[in-house]
Amino acid sequence: MFEQLFPNVDWEKAWEKTVETLYMTGISLIWIFFIGVLLGLLLFLTSKDNLWENMIIHGFVASIVNIFRSIPFVILIVLLLPFTKIIVGTIIGKEAAIPALIIGSAPFYARMVEIGLREIDKGVIEAAQAMGAKTSTIIFKVLLPESMPAIVSGITVTAIALVGYTAIAGVIGAGGLGDYAYLDGFSRNNNDVTLFATLVILLIVFIIQFTGDYITKKIDKR
Partner 1 sequence: MISVQHVKKIFPAKSEEVVAVKDVNLEIKEGEIFGIIGYSGAGKSTLIRMFNGLEMPTEGSIYIEGKDITRMKESKLRLARQEIGMIFQHFHLLWSRTVYGNIAFPLEIAGIPKKERDERVRELIQLVGLEGKENAYPSELSGGQKQRVGIARALANKPKVLLSDEATSALDPDTTDAILDLLVDINKKLGLTIILITHEMHVIKKICHRVAVMEKGKIVETGPVLEVFKHPEQPVTKRFVGQVTDAEDMKETVGRLLEKYQSGKIVKLTFVGEVAEEPIISTLIQKQLIVVNILHGNISHTRHGAYGTLFIHMDGKEEEVRNAIQFLLSRQIGVEVIEHV
If binding is defined by CB under 8 A, does position 54 make contact with partner 1? no
Binding flag, residue 1, partner 1 (CB under 8 A): no
Q: Give me the least distance between CB of 133 and partner 1, in Å please.
A: 5
User: Sign of the CA dihedral 136, 140, 141, 144?
Assistant: positive
**Residue 186 exposed, middle or buried by CB count within 10 Å (0-12, 13-18, 19+):** middle
| Choice from 141, 188, 217, 218 touching partner 1 (CB under 8 A) | 141
| Choices 6-14, 31-39, 66-74, 120-128 (CB under 8 A): range interacting with partner 1 | 120-128
Residue at 9: amino acid letter:
V
Can you state the angle between helices 73-88 and 148-169, rounded to 10 degrees? 90
Sign of the four-CA dihedral 90, 33, 129, 53: positive
Is 81 one of the binding residues for partner 1 (CB under 8 A)? Answer: no
Q: Is 55 in the site for partner 1 (CB under 8 A)?
A: no
Please name the residues in contact with 86: beta carbons below 8 A apart, sequence gap of 6 or more.
Answer: none
Pick the piece of the chain touching partner 1 (CB under 8 A) from 34-42, 111-119, 135-143, 190-198: 135-143
Binding segment toward partner 1, per CB under 8 A, in 63-71, 107-115, 122-130, 166-174: 122-130
Q: How far is the CB of 187 from partner 1 (least distance, A)?
A: 51
CB 175 within 8 A of CB 220: no
Question: Which positions lie near partner 1, rule CB under 8 A?
Answer: 121, 123-124, 126-134, 137, 141-142, 145-146, 148, 219, 221-222
